[in-house]
Structure 1
């Protein structure tokens, strides 16, 4: 089955006590939009990002989350979770986001994207959902979604195919990196094989391995 973009979502300005930004604003509440949207190296046109220190930037230009994983959470929490409910720019269908290999390239619409790293849950996410122990639950579930960098700018819209056009031979996946850096440190040596990971993550892994002797 061909993977597809189920929705393209843009953040709106939300003011809340749980917002992590010093201004008390967050862009985690993302809503689906009609028509194609320009995706550039700086991110998705029209998307609001409050905490630039932790969100956005070339290695986190786009965030993708799978509808199938969202459905699991909806069943677990007993409530509907619509497109953008995870703060994702791209809601995908029939795309193995957790199994995506670090560095693999996706042709989506007229854009070329590259998988960079998993999402790390934060207190803003927990506050947005109103689930106090969400960080723990999200970590245990280990379906974090994937950040992507933009190798070629282009327009992306709902219904566009998601085609994996290149996949690195190392095979290190989004899910493995997430588990290695959270609950399964025995996986850390394998993470170093993924040289397409952003350097701050690789350096963090090297430090952790060095501290273990």
Structure 2
């Protein structure tokens, strides 16, 4: 059964790789329970997890990026390639999952996490220079993009509390074939896929706008 291997909360730390000079990417495991709610519109609302700090509200947080999930299996694969330990939360994820194909999740797919919370998959995570600076790996934005296992942002459909170890149940899979992986490729490296994203109406509004214009996202960072 899929589950939350680690529940991770961010703190604000200094950085020279982000315009505000600070970042909340440094997320650390906590046992919970942690309250999960829709935080409000982007630019105003931060994280969907109580106590999780987000510094740059222009690009992070808000209802459509309330929670970020990354698969432990993919984190382990990166650790093996980089030859270093990558603890849960190291990629800035709130939920380090196990037994769940996050890249293969459909846009609009809904997960029940624990007994209460329901989350909806909205889009793929796009790497940036803050992420690259935090990890300190050369050509990280390009390498992360080429690998194509970005993790998923989620919106909160039903609020509640979650804990480390909670089970994850897929409640609903929409009737289209636009996965997180497809959305990521369309938005970054394969603009020919952009029209395909229009079938996924639950897609993050900014990503949907890119698809409608036929313009991929310009990556920020080496």
Q: TM-score of the superposition, structure 1-length normalised?
A: 0.94
Q: Given the alignment, which residue of 171, 177, 182 partners 1:171?
A: 177
Aligned residue for 2:3? 4
Q: List per-residue Cα deviations over 1:129-178 (Å, max 9, x = no partner).
A: 00131000000000000000001111111111110001101121000000
Map 1:21-170 → 2, pairs under 5 A = 21-22=19-20, 24-42=21-39, 43-109=48-114, 110-170=116-176
Secondary structure of the residue aligned to 1:204 is helix
Question: Hey, what's the Cα distance between the residues in 1 that align with 2:152 and 2:112?
Answer: 15
Q: Which stretches of structure 1, 4 residues or more, deviate above 2 A after TM superposition?
A: none
Q: Name the Cα RMSD after superposition.
A: 1.0
Question: Hey, what's the Cα distance between the residues in 1 that align with 2:196 and 2:213?
Answer: 14
CA contact (8 A) 2:36 2:159 kept: yes
CA contact (8 A) 1:101 1:171 kept: yes
Question: Hey, what's the Cα distance between the residues in 2 that align with 1:50 and 1:21?
Answer: 10
Question: Hey, what's the Cα distance between the residues in 2 that align with 1:55 and 1:135?
Answer: 17
CA contact (8 A) 2:187 2:207 kept: no
After TM superposition, give the deviation of residue 200 of structure 1 in Å. Answer: 2.0
Aligned residue for 1:188? 194
Q: Given the alignment, which residue of 208, 211, 221 partners 1:205?
A: 211
Secondary structure of the residue aligned to 1:68 is helix
Question: Hey, what's the Cα distance between the residues in 1 that align with 2:12 and 2:33?
Answer: 21
For this pair of structures, how many residues does the alignment match? 206
After TM superposition, give the deviation of residue 36 of structure 1 in Å. Answer: 1.5
Aligned residue for 2:45? none
Question: Hey, what's the Cα distance between the residues in 2 that align with 1:167 and 1:111?
Answer: 17
Stretches of structure 2 that go unaligned for 5 or more consecutive residues are 40-47, 216-222
After TM superposition, give the deviation of residue 128 of structure 1 in Å. Answer: 0.2
Secondary structure of the residue aligned to 2:122 is strand
Stretches of structure 1 that go unaligned for 5 or more consecutive residues are none
